[in-house]
Structure 1
Amino acid sequence: MQFLRAILTPLVAATLLAATAPLVMAQNRGDDTLLEMQQAFRKGDRNKLAQLLPAARGHALEPWAAYWELRVRLGEASPQEIQSFMQRYAGTYQEDRLRNDWLLLLGQRRDWSQFAEQHPSYRMSDDREVRCYALLIDHIKGTAPATVADDVRSNWYAIRDADDGCNHAAGELYTAKKLSALDIWRKARLGVDANRPRVVRNAVEIVAPDALPQLKEALDTPSKYLLGRATARGKVRQELIVLALIKLAGSDPDGAARQLDSKWSVHLSPEERNWAWGVIGKAAAQKLSSDAMGYFGNITKDSDLNDDLLGWKVRAALRAGQWKAVAKAVDAMGPEGRQDSTWVYWKARALLAGKPSDADRAEARQLFESIAGTRGFYEQLALEELGQRISVPPAPAPLTAEEKAAARANPGLNRALYAILLGLRSEGVREWNYTTNLHQPGGMPDRELLAAADFACQREVWDRCINTSERTKGVIEVNQRFPMPFRSTVVERAQGIGIDPAYVYGLIRQESRFVMDARSHVGASGLMQVMPATARWTAKKIGLTNFTPDQITDRDTNITIGTAYLKLALDDFAGSMPMAAAAYNAGPGRPRSWRNGPVLDAAIWAENVPFAETRDYVKKVLSNTTNYAAILTGLPQSLKSRLGTIGPRDANLPEVNKDLP
């Protein structure tokens, strides 16, 4: 408790640290109350929350206690009670969080007058469903912007799960002929592809409610539906066929391709055919099938696809070495896709393939220059394409005492750190992000972000230190972005078993952000997120005697086992850092399979990793590693040299760790 009190000096100096000993003791007892209330909130225990709330009054985290107690009964609370809460905690994250919750409830109740009254005070403005309700009200009032249909559609498409706000707004705009039938059917297609049946049903209910029984058949037994005779007519029949093909492609892309090619292609519009081939191509590409580009090759108009399908066409084309198709698919993306550093980089590489003209070289250089830097995987690769290496950026001017004091005096930052260090990590992270994002329009300026990050660094809350510093736009403070806690332990363990400490740090930064008590949804624990079974196997492999599973949460033991497993994975994959990172994240069996096929530039191989989480993980670990190496050695580094090429295992070489879990 002494450590928690130490971080609160700016927030509660007058009320806590200058208080009498009994008041400080009461504050410490209040910590237990807050922890108990969090558990009661998660269980929806209204009675316990009401019983405990008086004991939380006056605590530094009282806004959380009051929020939990009111949130569980928000549906029955009076507007006056809600307004009283908002007045009492005005300006806090909890006030705006409750307003967000209330706006969603008002939208569901179609209480447009109260919604319109409350919405202007909503500061977060990051809830897509709330945004759709607000756009619908503007539409009803006749004050909607000219882009209302585009805004609703983009927000609706971005929500993966079933929602009321955007779905209702889309239905109203469809009735008003501001959204087309195709807009609605495309949402249904996205729902099938994401395996969200409620999303699909809600969309089809807008555009073709009579087709719901056939929709169930198309999704439950797509093969049977496609082999039979669809009884719906016209556009509805065609779209149900597309939905069935999408569903089938998820498990059997080759079967879906046969159905489309032999039977249904002539019955679909060009747009429907192109989308279906795009989904089949994506499914084949995710299986790393050599047929993927053949399926994508049936598409007559790339602009009929969305950016996700086009991204998979680019990946398949990279794997097949079809550079013209890479450039063509990137060009067909929307503005946001074309500006993504991933597709900027590959478009530039495509321009340089074969026999580029001077104009191609000039355009490629311009594209590389537009993203080059040290911030990420493709930014670093672009820098190397321009003939430069990855070096430590110049440090910004040191923070002044006044800048540091301002961060330490920020109530939101103090509450967030208190919550995190108390064990209320989820709540603390949300309040921290809110405070640093919404300090003023556009978020905190760079210097304030650096000061906030420094506050977190000094308290060893490394994930907030890193994430906050990463948001600076004009400066890079590498010591905040790439901290090295426990340096002597990590470096000693890594060097002792012949592994690059920069690689270990790059992996830890991605795994846990140096959060000691990090625990994944699958049960991995500690700094290096080691699974219990993996820990037992590794401990036995390296001769760590008397190991018990509970030791995995010990810092030094976690580092010992994690680095040992990483070294064993590296040995198994002949020193390939990308493949070992993939094995660490997804298990060794998958990258052993993913390496089969053509010999590829490792950047192309990494971009074709079928799992989005692992694909992102591999790229970030390697990018982190390169930055850490620059810091540790003080010398310019190459990401490319850490990538190499990847292809099938040499059958003449022994499998080093065949039983690697």
Structure 2
Amino acid sequence: MPLHAAPRRLAHSLLALAAGLLLAGIAQAAEPTDAQRAAFKQAYATAQQGGDGWRALAQNLSDYPLYPYLEAAALTHDLRQLDRAPVDAYLKRYAQLIPANDLRRDYLLELARRKDWATFQSLYQPGLGDALTCDALQARLAQTQPSPAQSGPSAQGATLDFQRDLAALWNKPNLPNACDPVIAAAHDQGLLTAPRLWERIDRAADANQPGTVAALAAWLPADDAQAAQRIALALRDPGGAAAKAATWPDTPRSRQAAMLALERLARRQSGAADSSWEQLRGHFKFTPEQQRRVLSALALFHATDFNDDALQRLAALPPQAQTDATREWRVRVALAQQNWPAVLEAIDAMPAAQKQDGEWRWFRARALGALNRDGDARRLLVSLADEPTFFGFLAADKLDVPYAICPLTLPPDPPREQALLANAGLQRAFELYAVGLPRQARREWVQALDGADAATQKLAADLAYRRGWYDRSVYAFNKGEALRYYEQRFPLASQDGLVPQAAEAGIDPSWAYAILRAESAWMSDARSGANARGLMQLLPDTAALVARRNGLNWGGAESLYDPITNIVLGTRYLAQMAARFNGAPWLASAAYNAGPGRVDQWLAARGSLPPDLFVASMPFKETREYVARVMSFAVIYDWRLNGTATPLATRLTAIGDTYQLPDRNTPRRPVTCPAAAAAAAPADAATVAAPPANDAPNSSPR
């Protein structure tokens, strides 16, 4: 839908939105003052300690959009001492607000801990998560348990219905501990038949959950239980399972366990998996599908280990054992060998959709050029150069043509903007962000815009961008034509000091911006599963070492959520990584993602390759895509900062060469919007992939 048009259905949506706001009596509030925000922060910190001390600090905040969060914080702190009355009163005053829903959930968890099932049942509402779903079932079971004096049919207690009560839970590979009593009750009532147990075991095996498999095995008949424990062993210790499998009977479930062990052993030790396969293939009558899975895993992980026979094994795989992964690794191994005929042959063996990926079009052109088929190579490069991607930029460099970047600008829409600013949920979202509570702000944002049309979502994201809340626009403009809103997708936040800090650290600011954008998507409170924190995703231990090495103040792990602190330390750590690899930003990016030790290992094995081939040969998919994403983001940020861009090819210095920072004498590539590029939105996942939908930051070892 063209953004400059005003389709009738969008006009109707806007009128409906405005009418709804009017009927709800919502008027656009005046922008809160700095004094109100300061008072809220003080009152909120006090409320989080419990009690009523916050009230004196919030005397002038009764009309402030975040006032409901204060009492909720105090009540949540005091949950263990609360009776029902203050909770009921709060829920009545603020029904449907997020803090009310949270208070209900937290109080229900406390009631479950107390085993106050009567009060629990009167407050419970469905849809509050698996733990409370199971607590509600416990409540029903407990409320109907017979007394010790009762006996006979009337003493049976509550009867669970599998389809009504358990089917949705049963479909999940993992359940919280609160579900254990309910599952046990279902077993005691005879609901967990062997087929149902095996159904869940298979689901847990697919999700690599050996603990779930082992727990369920105890409820199976003896022979079946032993077979299920073999599956758990295959998941937990594939090497040990493969060694024992020769003593197992050739039954369907033992074959399943042996196959799982071989698949997983191939990932860890491809040579040992080969030996086990040779031993077990004669012992078990594996099904064709099981053979396909094992052969595919063996060939794939010999390839990721770059074993001498990897290319031959991949090419020899029967068609039914081929996957997208085995086909792409056939290309990668051939590239690592610089075997250009084999590269072409491997790309030609891909399905049409797979070979249209920008990476394979680039390497097909590389192979054609190496084989002196320059005309064919050029035709591929011309098409690829119209794409604002890692491989598109490489193609433009090869052809010595401008980069194809076609930005869009959102047209003004004052009526819709005023309607959005009058939305109480968005008011709370913007204010939560302003007072430094971004996680709560995102939740209000999602609820306020639930069901909004695309034009409204875009305008809301632009409003957030204009207020410095950048991650909202990064997440909103994440597909199709919206990828061309480069201003909103690649913010320049001068207030965080990245440009001067990059200069002081001796690194290119466009590269530092690219790392930040790839790591956190501008979420200042991002925290990875490895405990990396903040905009540039630093581990606290790493940050402490960087601070000490550079004579900087270190305020502890929580200080990494401060953008200025994070950027100061992040740029110094980037400089440290760059120095380790002759200043090369592409190798330092790989080290930032996978760790410098792994990059050293890859360099020792394949350090003579040109940069693009070396990136293609990195064993980790995440790191390959990360390097491509960061380096393309660096081009875009360079253009955002300077109007032109340092050629990507000059950033990809040959391994062993010293990278020179761009200066006023560095050649720069112009940017244009050719008609062909304007007609199609960016599509290369290595460059324009949207951030994870769950707001999770990029994982890294830092």
Q: TM-score range by the shorter chain?
A: 0.5 to 0.7
- In the other structure, the counterpart of 2:445 is 432
CA distance in structure 2 between the partners assigned to 1:402 and 1:352 by the alignment: 55
What residue ranges of structure 1 are gaps of 5+ in the alignment?
1-8, 87-96, 116-128, 134-155, 165-171, 652-659
Question: What is aligned with 2:476?
Answer: 468
Between the aligned partners of 1:57 and 1:226, the Cα distance in structure 2 is: 60
The count of corresponding residues between Structure 1 and Structure 2 is 563
User: Normalising by structure 2, what TM-score?
Assistant: 0.64
After TM superposition, the structure 1 = structure 2 runs for residues 327-476 of structure 1, keeping only pairs within 5 Å, are: 327=347, 330-331=350-351, 338=354, 341=357, 345=361, 348-349=364-365, 352=368, 355=371, 368=384, 373-374=387-388, 376-378=389-391, 380-381=393-394, 388-421=401-434, 425-433=438-446, 436=449, 438-439=450-451, 444-445=453-454, 447-471=455-479, 473=481, 476=484
Question: 1:211 corresponds to which residue?
Answer: 227
Query: What is the match of residue 534 of structure 1?
Result: 542
Tell whether 2:298 aligns with 1:283: no
Aligned to 2:147: none
Note closer, same or farther for the CA distance 1:54–1:515 as it changes in structure 2 (3 Å cut): same
- Aligned twin of 1:33: 71
Shift of the 256–461 alpha-carbon distance from structure 1 to 2, 3 Å rule, reads: same
Distance 1:492 1:36, change over 3 A: same
Q: Which has the bigger relative contact order, CA under 8 A and spacing at least 6?
A: 2
Distance apart, 1:48 and its partner CA: 7.6
- Counterpart code for 1:373: E
Please say if 1:602 is aligned against 2:635.
no
Q: Which moved more, 1:239-248 or 1:598-607?
A: 598-607
Task: Structure 2: give runs of 5+ residues left out of the alignment.
Answer: 1-20, 37-57, 139-159, 180-191, 659-700
Asked if residue 626 in structure 1 is aligned to residue 635 in structure 2, the reply is: yes
Q: Which moved more, 1:571-580 or 1:229-238?
A: 229-238
Give 1:354 shift. 6.2
Q: Which amino acid aligns with 1:618?
A: V
1:369-395 Cα distance to aligned partner (Å, 9 max, x none): 8xx532x54565566678754354233
**Conserved in 1, the CA contact under 8 Å of 2:461 and 2:473?**
yes
Change over 3 Å in CA distance of 1:64–1:342 after alignment to 2:
farther
In 2, Cα distance between the equivalents of 1:310 and 1:203?
37
Report deviation, 1:491. Answer: 1.9
Percentage of identical aligned residues: 23
Check 1:112–1:512 CA distance in 2 against 1; reply closer, same or farther (3 A cut).
Answer: same
Q: Which amino acid aligns with 1:279?
A: A
How far, CA to CA, are the matches of 1:614 and 1:378 in structure 2? Answer: 16
Does 2:255 match 1:241? no
TM-fit CA distance, 1:520? 4.0
Indicate conservation of the 8 Å contact 1:187/1:203, yes or no: no
Name the residue aligned to 1:253.
270
Q: Give, in whole Å, the separation in 2 of the partners of 1:628 and 1:263.
A: 54
- Give the CA deviation at 1:413: 3.4
Check if 1:566 corresponds to 2:574: yes
- Displacement of 1:492: 2.1
Task: Report the CA distance shift for 1:608/1:214 in structure 2 as closer, same or farther (over 3 A).
Answer: same
Change (3 A) 1:320 1:485: same
Please tell me whether the aligned partners of residues 629 and 637 of structure 1 are also in contact (alpha carbons under 8 angstroms): yes
Residues 449 and 469 in structure 1, CA contact (< 8 A), matched pair in contact too: no
Aligned residue for 1:591, secondary structure, equals helix
8 Å CA contact 2:635–2:647 kept in 1: the answer is yes
SS in 1 for 2:281: helix
CA contact (8 A) 1:419 1:425 kept: yes
Deviation for aligned residue 1:243: 1.6
Of structures 1 and 2, the larger Rg is shown by 2
SS in 1 for 2:493: coil
> What is the RMSD computed on CA atoms of the aligned residues?
5.3
**8 Å contact kept, 1:351–1:360:** no
**Contact 2:516–2:535 (8 Å) recurs in 1:** yes
Which residue identity does 1:512 align to in structure 2?
S
The reply to whether residue 293 of structure 1 matches residue 311 of structure 2 is yes
Q: In the superposition, relative to structure 1, how do residues 384 and 77 fare at CA in structure 2: closer, same or farther (>3 Å)?
A: farther
The one-letter code sitting in structure 1 at the alignment partner of 2:466 is Q
> Does the C-alpha gap of structure 1 residues 188 and 557 become closer, same or farther in structure 2, counting only changes over 3 Å?
closer
Instruction: Give the whole-Å Cα distance in 2 for the aligned partners of 1:631 and 1:650.
Output: 28
Q: Secondary structure at the match of 1:330?
A: coil
Amino acid aligned to 1:605: F
Change (3 A) 1:175 1:190: closer
Q: Mark the CA change 1:421 to 1:520 in structure 2 (over 3 Å): closer, same or farther.
A: farther
Read off the aligned partner of 1:527 and give its amino acid letter: L
Map of 1:304 onto structure 2: 321
Distance in 1 separating the partners of 2:377 and 2:78: 62
In the superposition, relative to structure 1, how do residues 343 and 490 fare at CA in structure 2: closer, same or farther (>3 Å)? closer
Q: Assess if the C-alpha contact under 8 Å between 2:314 and 2:326 holds in 1.
A: no
Q: What is the CA deviation profile of residues 507-555 of structure 1, one whole-angstrom value per residue up to 9, with x for unaligned ones?
A: 112223334444444444443333333334333444x266554765554
Work out the CA distance in 2 between the residues paired with 1:473 and 1:501: 27
Secondary structure of residue in 2 paired with 1:25: coil
- Name the CA distance, whole Å, in 2 between partners of 1:32 and 1:572: 49
Cα pair distance change 1:412/1:55, threshold 3 Å? closer
TM-score (norm 1): 0.67
Determine the C-alpha separation between the residues in 2 that align with 1:345 and 1:451. Answer: 36
> What letter corresponds to residue 97 of structure 2 in structure 1?
E
Where do 1:143-158 residues align within 5 Å?
Answer: none
- The answer to whether the 8 Å contact 1:293/1:313 transfers is yes
Q: 1:25 to 1:435 in 2, by over 3 A?
A: closer
In 2, are the aligned partners of 1:187 and 1:200 still within 8 Å (CA)?
Answer: no
